[in-house]
């Protein structure tokens, strides 16, 4: 992949498009089946959050490298209300959508790098990354 790939997330179909794009790229760089499954699951949850809680936004996908190992970085951004209490949002059982409350905390546990990047004003920016283990 040369350069960033940006996927618009404004519908459930586009959440699926984002998930398929991540799976295809993770496969292409040689991640294991387990690595792919975990990363795609985290990406799917974050893309769904962009749609449901942020009113839509984007996923930007970039190749990255660490210690000579190929990886993939995803940035999810929306212009919604933002996350008022990040520690609370990362806690298991917390939900604003009457779900199981495994969203952000679950996504964080599935990936090697997870960060919520503060933004001035409204919106949320979450970055995740995963590198091929071998």
pLDDT at 50: 93
3-state class percentages of the chain: helix first, strand second, coil last, to nearest 5: 35, 30, 35
Domains of the chain (ranges, CATH numbers):
5-131 (3.30.565.10)
pLDDT at 21: 97
In this predicted model, what pLDDT tens digit does every residue of 75-113 receive, in sequence order?
Answer: 999 988 877 766 676 766 655 555 544 578 888 999 999
Q: Is the pLDDT confidence value at 114 over 70?
A: yes
Instruction: Report the Cα 126 to chain-centroid distance in Å.
Output: 7
CB environment 79-116: b (16+ within 10 A), e (fewer): bbebbeeeeebbeeebeeeeeebebbbebbebbeebeb
Q: What percentage of the chain reaches a pLDDT higher than 90?
A: 64
């Amino acid at each position: 992949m040369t350069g960033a790939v940006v996927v618009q997330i404004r519908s459930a179909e586009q959440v699926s498009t984002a998930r398929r794009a991540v799976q295809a790229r993770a496969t292409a760089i040689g991640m294991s089946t387990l690595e792919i499954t975990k990363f795609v699951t985290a990406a799917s949850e974050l893309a769904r959050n962009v749609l449901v809680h942020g009113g839509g936004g984007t996923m930007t996908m970039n190749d990255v490298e660490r210690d000579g190992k190929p990886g993939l970085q995803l940035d999810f951004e929306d212009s919604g209300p933002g996350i008022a209490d990040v520690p609370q949002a990362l806690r298991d059982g917390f939900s604003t959508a009457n779900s199981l409350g495994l969203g952000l905390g679950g996504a964080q546990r599935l990936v090697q790098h997870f960060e919520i990047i503060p933004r001035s004003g409204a919106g949320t920016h979450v970055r995740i990354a995963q590198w091929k283990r071998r």
